[in-house]
Amino acid sequence: MKRRLVSVAIVVTVGLLLTILVLIPRPPSPPIMVHHIKSVRSGNLVTATFEITNHTTSHYFVYPVAVEVRNGSVWITCFDFNSFPGPILGPHGFDTPTFDMTNLPTGSPVRLRMSVGKELAGLEGLFIRLDLRFRRGQKKVPINPFDETTEVFSSKPTQVVSDEFKPKEREPEGSKK
């Protein structure tokens, strides 16, 4: 009888633990992810390719802001993009842009920082449309929140960063791997 009771207690305990593991909420994946694919340094110029992935059902604009270098536990801007146009990613879409950057430090990890803004559709974008039309004087922006001819994006973009990377030196001409 004691063995049976111990067996039942073990089965119930394991069952409860499995139920808890299944029911514990997992953090959702970020809506927009930026991964470094490759980079090559040639003198002062670094050419880097990234993959930007949209994991949502909404449209997002993304544009590069800066490249940052790690100094201890702090990230410091070492290259600014001056209003570089970025792609608009559709639902579950991706893009692989290549950027030319200058004067990045050697031997230190760097990362790309981007701004990301969600397209505001329907009533969600109504206040942005009203602001653009009446406060900022953009008469061509329709007030109709269900208008699909004009895209309206969040006025408060969020920041996302790529994984860390170190630009590699370009292979000399004629060298073999």
Sign of CA dihedral 104, 32, 74, 86: positive
* Domain ranges within the chain, ordered by starting residue: 29-119+154-169
CATH class of the domain comprising 29-119+154-169: mainly beta
Please report which confidence band the pLDDT of residue 51 belongs to, taking 50, 70 and 90 as the band edges.
very high
Residue 175, pLDDT > 60, answer no
Q: What is the pLDDT of residues 107-128, one digit of tens each?
A: 889 999 999 988 877 777 788 8
pTM: 0.69
What rounded mean pLDDT belongs to the chain? 83
Q: What is the pLDDT of residues 59-91, one digit of tens each?
A: 898 989 999 998 888 999 999 988 767 788 999
Q: Of 113, 101, 114, which Cα lies nearest the Cα of 167?
A: 101
